[in-house]
Amino acid sequence: MGGMGPAPKPEGRKARRNKDAIPQTVLRWERAEAPELPDFRIERDEQLVEFVWPERTREWWQMWIDSPQAEHFGSSDWQYLLDTALIHARLWRGDLSAAGELRLRVAAFGATPADRARLRMVFAEADGADQGRGSSGVPSARELYGNLRPIRGGKTDEGTSP
């Protein structure tokens, strides 16, 4: 709505310009397909042993493949996530010291609602499904009261309005 508040200052007279000190690098985007969890051997007691992925890690890997974030993963993202799968496997084999590193790594991909909020990720279909309402489905205050306007010249009691 025009006319509310002072006019903005001309560009040359603004006190803060908030320009980036370092210019941004724009990269060409190439979507990558998720790799399979690889079969490999590890050395244990001077012997090569077939590594078996925990079933929980296989489910976790499929969850990332199916996630909405996956359509934005490039090849380096999938490689980092593959390394993270090894940490996930360590955790599910009982190595609780892996939990902290796992949490840090999955946070970079938006694993939890708090991570997604920090990364400024939103689910587009959620806005359409609830017609702009919050997660409770209750209309916002703006929807309910947006058309209300103050009444000019109303009765006041000692300088305060009711």
| Cα distance between residue 99 and residue 89, in whole Å | 11
Contact (Cβ atoms closer than 8 angstroms) between residue 61 and residue 37? yes
Which of 99, 101, 66 minimizes the C-alpha distance to 80?
A: 101
3-state secondary structure of 105: helix
Predicted confidence at residue 154, as pLDDT, reads: 63
pLDDT bracket for residue 132 (50, 70, 90)? low
Mean pLDDT across the chain: 83
End-to-end CA distance of the chain: 27
When mean pLDDT is compared across 87-91, 135-139, 158-162, the lowest value belongs to: 158-162
| Cα distance between residue 53 and residue 37, in whole Å | 8
Contact (Cβ atoms closer than 8 angstroms) between residue 108 and residue 87? no
